[in-house]
Amino acid sequence: MPENKPLTGYPSIDKPWLKYYSDEAINAPLPKCTMYQYIWENNKDHLTDIALRYYGTKISYGSLLENIKKAASSFYAMGVRPGDIVTIMSMHTPETIYAIYGLNYIGAVANMVYMTLAEKEILHTIENTESKLFLVLDVALKKMEAIKDKLHIPVVVLGVADSMPVHIKLGYHLKAEERKKHTFLTWRDFFKHSAGEPPIATDHGASAVIVYTSGTTGEPKGAVLSNNSITAVAFQALNAEYHLEKRRRFLDALPPFIGFGITMLHETLAAGLDIHLWIQLEPEAIAKQFVKDKPEFFVTGPAFVDAIIAQKEVDLSHIIYFGGGGGALTEKSERAINDYLHRCHSKTIYANGYGMTESSATLCASTDTINKYGSVGIPLPKTIVKSISLQNQSELPYNEVGELCFSTPSLMKAYYKKPQATESVFITDENGNRWLRTGDLGYVDKDGFVYIKGRIKRIFITRDRDGTAYKLFPQKIEELICKLDEIETCGVVVLEDQARMHVPVVFAKAKMDSTDDSILEKLIWQYVKRELSAYEQPVAVQMLKAMPMTASGKIDYQLLENMAKEHIL
C-alpha cells in the first residue's frame, strides 16, 4: 500500500484511490506483448483447462490456441498481412473468437461492427476500411444476399451452430433452414486454406481492433485500439481485487462489437476463466441462463440486471463478482439490486463501474469491499482521473463538478479516419501526459471514488415564462422520476422550442406491465409539477412497454429523440 501523504486537494496529484491497491498492482510493469501472446503466456501451462463452453460444447485452452493458429494460417493463405483490416459482423461464437485472435496472431486488425448494420452501412464500412475479408454470422444472410453482387472481397459465413454438439446443431438447422443456403465460404471452407505456420506478429503497439462508440447521442465513431490498450485493461484487472482466479466460471453475454465486450473477453481469457458464451441478448433469456449456469462472475448492463432481479429469488451464494456499467444507476436501483442479492444469500454486492470505448472500456470499478452508493467506483491502479473546469480546463478540487478526464495506458490510438474528432477528445498536459475528455460531468471525492452527474452534451439552455435563461439537466429529471416506486426506468430527451429554446420530453417504463399507462402518466405529471421548477417542466410524458437500449445496455437517446420528434411535437 502507498504511504499516506498530506492531500493537496487535487485528485490527479493525490491519487487517493491507490490506498486500496497493493504495491504490486501499482508498480508492476505493463506487459509488452500482443493480445494473442498475452493469453498464450498466461495459459500455456494450463492447456487442459476449459476455456469456452458453447451450448454444451467444451473447448480447452489448448484447443482454443490451436484453432487460433489455424485461423491465422487461413487468413495468411488468403492474403491477409500485418496492418490489413478484416471486418467481422458477428456475436461471440467460438469461431468469432478464433478469428479475432487469429488476425492478431499475424498482426492484422479486426474491425468489429454492429450486427444491426443495414446493407448500405455494411458496404460503406468494408469500403472505408479497405477490408480484405468480411466475416458475418449466418443470422445476417438475408442482408448478404441483398448486396452480394456489390461485394468484391471474399465473404466467410460463421454459423451459429458451427461449434454446437451434433444433436443441438441438428435441431437448430431444422428451425433455421434458410440460413444454410448460401454461396459464400463457410468456416470449414475457410479453414481449408492453409499457409502452414505463418510468422507471428510481435508489435505490441500496433493496432489490434476497431470498435465503435454506441452512437446514443450522435454518429458512431471507430475507436482504434492497440494491443497495449486492450492488454493494459486486462492486466490492471488481474492485479486488482476482483478475484479473477483460474477455472472460475464466467457467463459472457457481452457481444464482441462493443468495447466492453472485446475487453472483457480478453480479460477473462487472460485470467484463465471457464467462460460460458451466451449469444442470446434478450434480457429474460440471459436472466434464465444466469440462474441455470450459476457463474461466479457476471458483468453486464443495467437492462440485464433488471431482468435478473425481476425473477423469483434463488440461491446466489455462488456469486463472487456481480458487476455492471453502461449507464448511471440511481441509488434506489443500486439498493434494490443489493437487497435482492442478499435475499438470495449472496455475500457480494453489485459492483458499479464506468468506462468508454475510447479507453478500451473500463476506467473505474467497485468491488464488494471497495464501494460507495452512487459512485462508479475507483480508477484502475494505473489510471488517473481529474475533473476540469468547463471554462478554463483547470483541474478542480475534490467534490467539485466538472468534465471528467482520464489518463491511462488503455487509451485508443485514434478515431479511424477522423483526425479532427480525435484531436477534440484528447488533452496533453505540460508533462506530455495524454488525457481523455469523457464529455461526462462528474467529480472525485477525497477517497478517490468517482461520481457521474450527466453528459455535457445533455446540458441545455431553456427559458422560463419571464424570459430568464436557465440550465436544463435531463438527468436530474430522470433521477427524480425514478424515485417513484411505480417507475422502473426513465429517459428524458430535449427538443428545440421557439419560445423556450429547449424543452424536455419524458419517456418512462413501469415496473408492472399491467399498470394503466394513463394513471402513471397522471402520477408523473402531478409529481414533476410539485417537485420541479417551471422551467424544468416537461412538455410531454409517454409510457413505454420497453425502454430502447443499445447493445451495451445504455438508453438509446437518439431513438427516443426521433420518437419525440415524430410522435409528440
Instruction: Please state the three-class secondary structure of 359-393 as a single string.
Output: HCEEEEECCCCCCCCCCCCEECCCCEEEEECCCCC
Give the separation between CA 102 and CA 94, rounded to whole angstroms. 12
Give the separation between CA 376 and CA 322, rounded to whole angstroms. 14
- Confidence class of residue 303 from pLDDT cuts 50, 70 and 90? low
**DSSP H/E element including 404:** strand 402-407
pLDDT for the residue numbered 54: 97
Residue 229: all three cell numbers together? 490498450
Query: What is the amino acid identity at position 431?
Result: N
- Confidence class of residue 176 from pLDDT cuts 50, 70 and 90? low
Nearest to 352 by CA among 327, 319, 321, 377: 377
pLDDT for the residue numbered 152: 93
Give the separation between CA 126 and CA 129, rounded to whole angstroms. 5
- Confidence class of residue 538 from pLDDT cuts 50, 70 and 90? very high
Q: Is 436 helix (H, G, I), strand (E, B) or coil?
A: strand
> CA of 274: how far to CAs of 48, 175, 197, in Å?
11, 29, 28
> What CATH architecture is 298-305+317-456?
3-Layer(aba) Sandwich (3.40)
> CA of 256: how far to CAs of 112, 279, 478, in Å?
7, 10, 30
Number of residues that make up the chain: 569
Average pLDDT over residues 295-304: 84
Q: Which tens digits make up the pLDDT trace of 470-523? A: 878 898 899 899 999 999 899 999 998 888 889 999 999 998 776 789 999 999
Judged by phi (left if over 0) then psi (alpha if -120 to 50, else beta), residue 399 lies in: left
Asked if the domains 31-279 and 459-567 are classified in one and the same CATH topology, the answer is no
Distance, C-alpha 155 to centroid of its chain: 27
- Kindly tell me the burial class for residue 447, based on how many C-beta atoms sit within 10 Å of its own C-beta (0-12, 13-18, 19 or more): middle
When mean pLDDT is compared across 84-98, 159-173, 301-315, 395-409, the lowest value belongs to 301-315
* Phi (first) and psi of residue 362, to 5 degrees: -60, 130
> What CATH architecture is 31-279?
3-Layer(aba) Sandwich (3.40)
Domain 459-567 has CATH 3.30.300.30: yes
> CA of 303: how far to CAs of 281, 296, 307, 326, in Å?
10, 20, 7, 9
Give the separation between CA 14 and CA 7, rounded to whole angstroms. 6
Q: With pLDDT > 70 as the criterion, what percentage of the chain qualifies?
A: 95
Give the CA angle between residues 337, 323, 440 to the nearest 5°: 95
The domain ranges of the chain are: 31-279, 298-305+317-456, 459-567
> CA of 84: how far to CAs of 14, 78, 135, in Å?
43, 12, 14
390 close to 403: Cβ distance less than 8 angstroms: yes
pLDDT for the residue numbered 283: 84
